[in-house]
Structure 1
């Protein structure tokens, strides 16, 4: 009887290890997919901002728009449309999952208000800065914006007294080195002022997302991640469309300027399908990232999501450069190397890379 019990116990332990291993691997797969989806989102959004009325706005300036409108207001509108579409996808998803009432109920709770703060930081601030940077400097800014995990680690130490050990400091150093390596390629052969400004604005996006990561990490620990993401996307869409865009409009000379441009953008039939797609991909990115974090750990999940530093330029090259036949989306080899170094730095911040080898060895045994 004891022998039978012992065998049953060993079988149960083996089954538990296998289940845990499969759960972990699925989490890694979801987190990696979130990085891929973010790369696709970047390419789709940028493609949308080359179609229809956007082609006129960014073309020979036949619309007679001011430099401020072209550089900043149009990017804010593009981000606002994307986040609005993403919010609609999020609401549809919450309805299908039967969680819409929970979404409404959670908005005015403490974790809900924390997610609102995260949305305001990550959407109007970081999201718009990201789009502006891409329009100014191209896909070279994507890996630079991926500095956000390094920034989140530093802010976590400052704001929440979280651990920042030597390994994490090394990872931050690797990320900073990679960003300088990538940024230097933008100045080869003489760089335009727009490229330099775009890189600086990409750093602002990284700061915003790093801060959002700290805030959202705290809020999502107290709320259903699917509800938290819905709050994040809806608030971001509203804030972009009804707060940030009108402010930029007033800065450009009058709120009617932004209103007219928004109407034209939403009625541009050749551009909107790309925004609907980018909104869906944006929503999928957050969904799979949060799900992956819950299954393989926030550290490794963040590292896997950070692979968008490679996938972003790759899909911009394939969609805009190869498929769209547009110039300026190819990156020099040094930039690709820098993107890979950035991914390693992000992984080092999030966890000890040797732990992956140890885990694999344990599973084999």
Structure 2
């Protein structure tokens, strides 16, 4: 955490909320893309769609970020940072946040839809908070723990589905995949906070490394294994590529704001605020696409979001905890 005053804490919280809005838009557009050609043309395409769309999303997002680095004159700085210890740590975070979490997330959307997947995967702030408490020594009070409990309760409500004849046989698998994305993003938040501990850390460079690493992992490792390049070329030559360019822009924007929030207010609070994307995704689905939602989904999502606000804490407390954390690290340095 690096917020030294109320103004910086407020800025970090604003960035966290902004990242959630961008990711909510991103989520809904991805759901639309996966329901159209060429992702539904054949049975094989339907199976490969989450992997190929995730690769395309992260690759195009990386290109948007490289363009941003070029405009700001940071390309050389980016290349140098990639070789540092912190750069390697960010690359490790990318593996959890990209190939692991993003693939689970898109598979979840494929099986149970954007609204359920967005709501269930929003458990990741609780996971990040627990890991940040254990490994990063972030201070967590009773209010934050209550938020974690509410988040878990909300997920239980969202996950419950009576086993009657109308139940979709992919529902449980979709639930597990959505929770898998929550675990991956929770781990990513903590690792990237670890990689941006220094005062000279640049969240924009960090998230650029994140997206580049994720895209390369898909290109070099995942797509060759699943034979996904054929579908990838079909996507590039289809009209879907322009929707992917748009959603990649929102994805890049969300990730930049998310990493900036983590840098200023810590992994636990940054992930908690980013988590509100579930509400934005549901709101957009209802207003724009007239999608029907259940009372169970509304209640579960509200509980998860309330839990996230509790995790965030208040601004004065946040700045106070930043100073405590800094003093704690200084004492550790003296002892070592």
Q: Is the pair's TM-score, using the shorter chain for normalization, greater than 0.5?
A: yes
1:308 equivalent in structure 2: 277
Deviation at 1:312, TM superposition (A): 1.9
Deviation at 1:355, TM superposition (A): 5.7
In 2, Cα distance between the equivalents of 1:245 and 1:313?
31
CA deviation map 1:15-58 (0-9, x unaligned): xxxxx6555444433321211110001111222222331242xx
Matched, 1:112 2:87: yes
8 Å Cα contact 1:129/1:202 also seen in 2:
yes
Taking the TM superposition and a 5 Å limit, the aligned residue runs for 1:337-352 are: 337-351=299-313
CA 1:22–1:167: 2 relative to 1, 3 Å: closer
1:44 equivalent in structure 2: 29
- Structure 1 unaligned segments of length 5 or more: list them: 1-19, 57-62, 250-254, 323-328, 357-365
CA 1:261–1:186: 2 relative to 1, 3 Å: farther
Match of 1:142, SS state, is helix
In 2, Cα distance between the equivalents of 1:142 and 1:333?
16
Deviation at 1:281, TM superposition (A): 0.4
2:180 equivalent in structure 1: 204
Matched, 1:87 2:62: yes
Deviation at 1:353, TM superposition (A): 9.1
In 2, Cα distance between the equivalents of 1:301 and 1:259?
35
**Which range moves more in the overlay, 137-146 or 332-341?**
332-341
CA deviation map 1:207-263 (0-9, x unaligned): 11111111011102232111101100111111123312222x1xxxxx3xx221111
Larger Rg computed on CA atoms: 1
In 2, Cα distance between the equivalents of 1:297 and 1:161?
11
1:266 equivalent in structure 2: 236
2:323 equivalent in structure 1: none
Matched, 1:148 2:124: yes
In 2, Cα distance between the equivalents of 1:141 and 1:197?
11
CA-atom RMSD, angstroms? 2.5
8 Å Cα contact 2:203/2:263 also seen in 1:
no
Deviation at 1:295, TM superposition (A): 5.0
Matched, 1:214 2:199: no
1:287 equivalent in structure 2: 256
Match of 1:193, SS state, is coil
Normalised to the residue count of structure 2, the TM-score between the two structures is 0.84
- Structure 2 unaligned segments of length 5 or more: list them: 319-336
Normalised to the residue count of structure 1, the TM-score between the two structures is 0.78
Task: Count matched residues.
Answer: 312
Matched, 1:275 2:251: no
Matched, 1:225 2:210: no
CA 1:311–1:186: 2 relative to 1, 3 Å: farther
CA deviation map 1:311-357 (0-9, x unaligned): 122223444x33xxxxxx4221221222121111122233269969x
